[in-house]
Copies of this chain bind each other. A is one copy, B any other.
Amino acid sequence: MITITLLGGGNLATHLAELFIKTPGIQLLQIYNRNLQAISAFKNSTELTDSLNNLKAADIYIICIADKSIKEIADQLTNKKGLLVHTSGAMDIAILGKREKKGVFYPLQSFSKNKPVDFQHIPICIEASTEKDVLLLKDLAEKISTKVYRIDSSQRKTLHIAAVFVNNFVNHLYKIGEDICTENKIPFEILHPLILETATKLNKLSPTEAQTGPASRNDQETIKIHESKLDLQQKEIYQLLTAAILKT
């Protein structure tokens, strides 16, 4: 049995709390949050507190709060004997201070509060200062997900940059697609199946193998026609990405 004290009341904290409560082999001892109201949904399932002085002793303390507040919380937990981890993609393990038992437990996904999440398929990236604590985090992660990866702080920061490309930037290209459709009275949903196919194709083909379209076959005639129909900013993006594809 792994005992957990969870710190935070946001999207990720809520999803983890729900999951820990129902997962065999995990005991959620307590949730801490400055604002008790935000975690009141759990009042019948576990103990709640708004004071760091009341924290119960646990095997693992999981800090699930905004990046900028992690250090402040960690600095107030120097007397805890359990393993202290944060859940941030961008923060170094070192932000948790000089203690020996520290680590990172980073589920790589974008979470929305009211959208249910199937953790079984969410990659959990783990890191810890000692081998023993790596094993403890691995044990915890494997209870909730089939995809557990050992990733150090430097790799995790890089992963965060890659995620910006495949999530935030991709989403912006979806927005341009939607804008083009809207301007021409075409329902954007026509493109949903293509978008989904482009994403799921990665299970079988690398992005390089999967590439098609006017840029990859250097079809300058089509490229010129496309450029002539775009606004200034869309055209800049079209040209830069077309040049990038041509180079590969």
Given B125, B169, B175, B212, which contacts A168 in the complex, CB threshold below 8 Å?
B212
Oligomeric state, in copies: 2
Whole-angstrom CA separation of A141 from B165 in the bound complex: 37
Contact indicator B226/A161 (Cβ below 8 Å)? yes
The reply to whether the CB of A109 lies closer than 8 angstroms to some CB of chain B is yes
Contact indicator A190/B226 (Cβ below 8 Å)? no
Which of chain B's residues have a CB closer than 8 A to the CB of A78? none
Count of A interface residues, CB-CB < 8 Å: 83
Given B162, B177, B184, B203, which contacts A165 in the complex, CB threshold below 8 Å?
B177
Spot the interface stretch: A22-30, A69-77, A230-238.
A230-238
Contact indicator A178/B207 (Cβ below 8 Å)? yes
* Supplied contacts A155-B185, A168-B245, A237-B241, 11 more A-B pairs, CB within 8 Å: A109-B194, A110-B198, A122-B193, A158-B180, A166-B191, A168-B215, A170-B170, A172-B241, A177-B207, A196-B200, A237-B244
A-B contacts, 13 listed (Cβ < 8 Å) = A108-B193, A110-B197, A149-B186, A155-B185, A158-B180, A159-B184, A162-B178, A162-B186, A162-B191, A166-B195, A172-B211, A175-B206, A196-B200
The reply to whether the CB of A204 lies closer than 8 angstroms to some CB of chain B is yes
The reply to whether the CB of A12 lies closer than 8 angstroms to some CB of chain B is no
Whole-angstrom CA separation of A164 from B170 in the bound complex: 12
Whole-angstrom CA separation of A110 from B183 in the bound complex: 24
Contact indicator A222/B90 (Cβ below 8 Å)? yes
**A169-B173, A177-B165, A241-B237 known; A199-B198 Cβ under 8 A:** yes
Which of chain B's residues have a CB closer than 8 A to the CB of A194? 108-110, 163, 166-167
The reply to whether the CB of A132 lies closer than 8 angstroms to some CB of chain B is no
The reply to whether the CB of A240 lies closer than 8 angstroms to some CB of chain B is yes
Contact indicator B191/A170 (Cβ below 8 Å)? no
Which of chain B's residues have a CB closer than 8 A to the CB of A208? 175
Nearest CB on B from A117, distance (A): 9
